[in-house]
Amino acid sequence: MVTRASLKGKDDDLHMKEHKRLFITGGTGFVGRHLLPVLSQQGYQVRCLARSATHKRLASLPGIEWIEGDLTEANGWSQMLKGQDALIHLASIHEGSPQLIRRINLTGTENLVSAARLAQIKRCIYLSTITSVDNPKLHYSHSSWLAETLIRERMEDFRILRATLIVGQGDPFLGGLIHFARRWPFIPIIGSGQTKFQPIAVEDVVRCLVQALSEERYLQRTIPIAGPEILSLEQIVDLLQKTLHTEKRKIHLPRRATRVLVSALRRLHIHTQFTSAYFLTKGLFTEAQSVENQFGFHAQSLAEILHSLVEPKSLT
């Protein structure tokens, strides 16, 4: 007997099959490196854009094809996208000159969306940021806002997720803090350390992306995603020290002077463990329980994330 439930099951199967061929940007980045193995394992066929040599470990994943290209170069895009069912757009930069941020985050998105339309792709999943805002003074946040707007206007079937701070294996923020806690005689904290974060595990972001890709209820929605707790930088450091069983002194550094120094070093190609998130004053948080309410599962707490990072093997 064909029941409503079995019909729905068939619809879901059909729906999944219809969106099994994906085009992904940013697959070599932090989130991409966690997403690709999951998609590969779930049987998706993924064509992945990479600017240069591909990530070695990911290169051998079944179902993943790598093609070389740069989002800012408009040529040949629709050919690359031909035959794909959906896009997952992860590529962006958050540091650099305002012109470069705009060129990659906005012009790059424009190129991608135009090519997707030519290739008759309708579905686009875009991982944006909770800081997305219509304020031209905030270059990265504004570029995300403009990219979101473009996708909403031009992609019939968009699904936009706005993430807070994403953490996990290979993220520079927690990775940097772990580095300080293990290798430095003290832990530097920028300013008062009271800037608030609501970190979300990268595995949970991947789960939300896969759900957004495959379930109709996310159609044409823009959804904030965040972890279950809002914590100050100082609280994050305390939790990290507890997990690592260290008791290093916390030393507060002046925000502006440290930022000037870190930027000067970066211009000399000397990279420090200080990521841009350390210098935020406004914080990165949203409503609690957003993952549970919208995606129906418990997002990992920071303690759980830290345990999985620190205990089985060394991160840094």
List Cβ neighbours of 235 (8 Å cut-off, separation of 6 or more): none
The reply to whether 211 sits near ligand NAP by the rule CB under 6 A is no
Residue 16 or residue 40: which is nearer to ligand NAP going by CB?
Answer: 40
Closest distance of CB 114 from ligand NAP, Å: 15
- β-bridge partners, 129: 163
Q: Which stretch binds ligand NAP (CB under 6 A): 15-23, 86-94, 209-217, 238-246?
A: 86-94
The reply to whether 166 sits near ligand NAP by the rule CB under 6 A is yes
Binding residues for ligand NAP, total number by CB under 6 A = 26
- Interface residues for ligand NAP in 105-164 (CB under 6 A)? 108, 127, 129, 163
Q: For residues 95 and 263, is the Cβ–Cβ distance under 8 A?
A: no
Residue whose Cβ sits closest to ligand NAP? 29
Closest distance of CB 141 from ligand NAP, Å: 10
The reply to whether 226 sits near ligand NAP by the rule CB under 6 A is no
The reply to whether 84 sits near ligand NAP by the rule CB under 6 A is no
List Cβ neighbours of 159 (8 Å cut-off, separation of 6 or more): 123, 124, 125, 126, 212, 213, 218, 219, 220, 221, 223
**Which amino acid is it at 21?**
R
- β-bridge partners, 68: 50
Per-residue binding string, ligand NAP, 10-49, x by CB under 6 A, is: ---------------xx-xxxxx----------------x
Q: What is the Cβ-side half-sphere exposure of residue 40, based on CA atoms within 13 angstroms?
A: 19
The reply to whether 175 sits near ligand NAP by the rule CB under 6 A is no
| Cα–Cα distance for residue pair 241/313, rounded to 1 Å | 16
Residue 71 or residue 86: which is nearer to ligand NAP going by CB?
Answer: 71
Question: 92, 243, 275, 294: which one contacts ligand NAP (CB under 6 A)?
Answer: 92
Residue 141 or residue 214: which is nearer to ligand NAP going by CB?
Answer: 141
The reply to whether 187 sits near ligand NAP by the rule CB under 6 A is no
Closest distance of CB 125 from ligand NAP, Å: 11
Phi then psi for residue 22, to 5 deg, are: -120, 150
Q: Which stretch binds ligand NAP (CB under 6 A): 10-18, 64-72, 74-82, 287-295?
A: 64-72
List Cβ neighbours of 48 (8 Å cut-off, separation of 6 or more): 23, 24, 27, 28, 32, 36, 54, 58, 64, 65, 66, 67
**Which amino acid is it at 258?**
T
* Closest C-alpha among 81, 19, 25, 27 to residue 59: 27
| Cα–Cα distance for residue pair 27/39, rounded to 1 Å | 11
| Interface contacts to ligand NAP, rule CB under 6 A | 25-26, 28-32, 49-52, 70-72, 90-94, 104, 108, 127, 129, 163, 165-166
